[in-house]
Structure 1
């Protein structure tokens, strides 16, 4: 799956001249945690996040920038002063932004988001902002795929066969000890397992099989040392 399949097209943006008060209102009104900053031609200049608004003198949270610090590193101190006290987005935004192309695979984009610990990625094409990929977009795509079609085209036996095949292909299940039966889309798992982890994995495997509406656990947990069955589902 590529990013372009699930990204938000024409996302809400602001310009560098937008006041932080207006940007903050947009974030609150539209339930956004970040806003791409673009110029009049649509080119990405940076991004402003709710985190950029945490250290402010209005909240008594801005760091002190003393004269001695300015004496030692005047340019750094001056930049820190503007970043924590600026009144316009262009003064406080992050200019070095991690971006992706619309043809980037979703798996690669998710890896970047995890590695950089960021909630959304601007999507650019030749410097122009064409969309944004957010965690909300990814969640929506996941939910779309978790919804099981109720068309009824798949028979119960076909569903059971799919579950049995998935169990056979696994490298963790005690394959000969598990029985599968499906009636009206409800999958019943019987037989024995040797750990609670295996029981949970079999349940999840069945739940993820197309056409399954619910799973009934009749698995018996066997103590591998004592050889005693307990904890029937």
Structure 2
């Protein structure tokens, strides 16, 4: 069963910055191309940081240079230090959150939620940036027709994965909600069917009313 990965939905041809890119140039790129952040690359095109519009605005808000005070919270001291810089390398966040090309859409969504970011640089095995995935890109997984989802339920889940006769199960899909009614051979098949269908791209919810002829859960315990 093939699901969409980050590389399927990401934006390629990424706008990037170098450590030495001046603040004025960063602001120009962000304004002209309407992007909120830029991956910062080293000389080998590897990801070393991310500079955001918030970082550039931070510079604007600290026009009077000063040294950070020891009693200030660590985040505030870091903000003061970075605001003193005039290049991407001085302004950027040096612990960028990125994601690998083969990662799943749910993995990307969880990473964005956990770190409170709207987009993620996508990196290959050598940590080189090959794209950017945004919240908007993740929505593409849900833009699938009900007919396509139903075809995957019958063909991918029941025939190819479960090796079960799909003619004994009635599958209806409405606005991404899959309803399955019918009978399968084993209890384990009924339980697996619901799990697998939930993993299909575009599925919003599953209503499973599947009966079974053999309760193989008890057989497995006795073995």
TM tier relative to shorter chain: 0.5 to 0.7
RMSD of aligned alpha carbons: 3.5
Shift of 1:22: 0.6
Residue 162 of structure 1: SS of its match in structure 2?
strand
Residue 25 of structure 1: SS of its match in structure 2?
helix
- Rounded to whole Å, the distance in 1 between the matches of 2:110 and 2:13 is 24
Larger-Rg structure: 1
Shift of 1:9: 1.8
Contact 1:15 1:37 in 2 (8 A): yes
Report the equivalent of 1:107.
Answer: 106
Report the equivalent of 1:25.
Answer: 28
Aligned residues: 154
- Rounded to whole Å, the distance in 2 between the matches of 1:77 and 1:114 is 23
Report the equivalent of 2:41.
Answer: 38
Cα distance, 1:108–1:16 mapped onto 2, change above 3 Å: same
Pair 1:128-2:151 in alignment: no
Where relative contact order (Cα < 8 A, 6+ residues apart) is larger, the structure is 2
Gaps of 5+ in 2: 149-170, 182-203, 205-223
Residue 131 of structure 1: SS of its match in structure 2?
strand
Report the equivalent of 1:138.
Answer: 138
Contact 1:65 1:77 in 2 (8 A): no
1:88-107 map, 5 Å:
88-107=87-106
- Rounded to whole Å, the distance in 1 between the matches of 2:110 and 2:12 is 21
Cα distance, 1:167–1:106 mapped onto 2, change above 3 Å: closer
Pair 1:49-2:60 in alignment: no
- Rounded to whole Å, the distance in 2 between the matches of 1:106 and 1:36 is 20
